[in-house]
Amino acid sequence: MIPQAWKENKPKIMRRGCFFLVVIALGILQISDVLPTFFGVKFLPLLPLTVVLGMFERETYGLYYGLLAGIMWDMNVGAGDGFNAFFFAFVGFFCGLLMTYLMMNNLITATILCTLSTILYFLISWIIFVAAKGINGGASLLITDYLPTALLNILSLPVYYYGVRAVMKKFKLMENDELSF
């Protein structure tokens, strides 16, 4: 016997489970270094994905997906100390909050939010893990490693935006079909 709550919320549960698996899969790909590098620049898909999921799933689930993505990223970084989990949870929550109360959900706002959060992430990360430790050549590391990686992640945003939007539309149609009698 299937509970009534499952019958009523089946599309939402399946959609959120699908996004959960996408975050896990991309986290594993990022950790295992399977993703290609472009001109020596690393491809890090979890940050743009967190922004887009926060935009579509709103603040509560944006926080959860951000926390999951940050934990996956922290598993790769030995000295992360939970920085990524905290930052990604904040980004997912904040993007969802902005979509709920202030902004419209479109590619332009996604690009703005992704650009701001990516630059903020890499700048804070550089300050905490490079500049504060006094690593020699830290300024050149910012220019040659951090900023190109941020640019690559910002340029990859449309793939995530349109992919998540397609999944959302598919499950919205599924919700509407099940509600019709």
The predicted structure's pLDDT at residue 30: 86
**Using one digit for the tens of pLDDT, what is the confidence trace for 58-99?**
899 999 999 999 998 888 776 668 889 999 999 999 999 999
Q: Which fold has domain 15-172?
A: Arp2/3 complex 21 kDa subunit ARPC3 (1.10.1760)
| pTM attached to this predicted model | 0.87
Instruction: Spell 114-138 as b/e; 16+ CB within 10 A means b.
Output: bbebbeebbeebbeebbeeeeeeeb
Domain map (residue ranges) of the chain? 15-172
Q: How many residues does the chain have?
A: 181
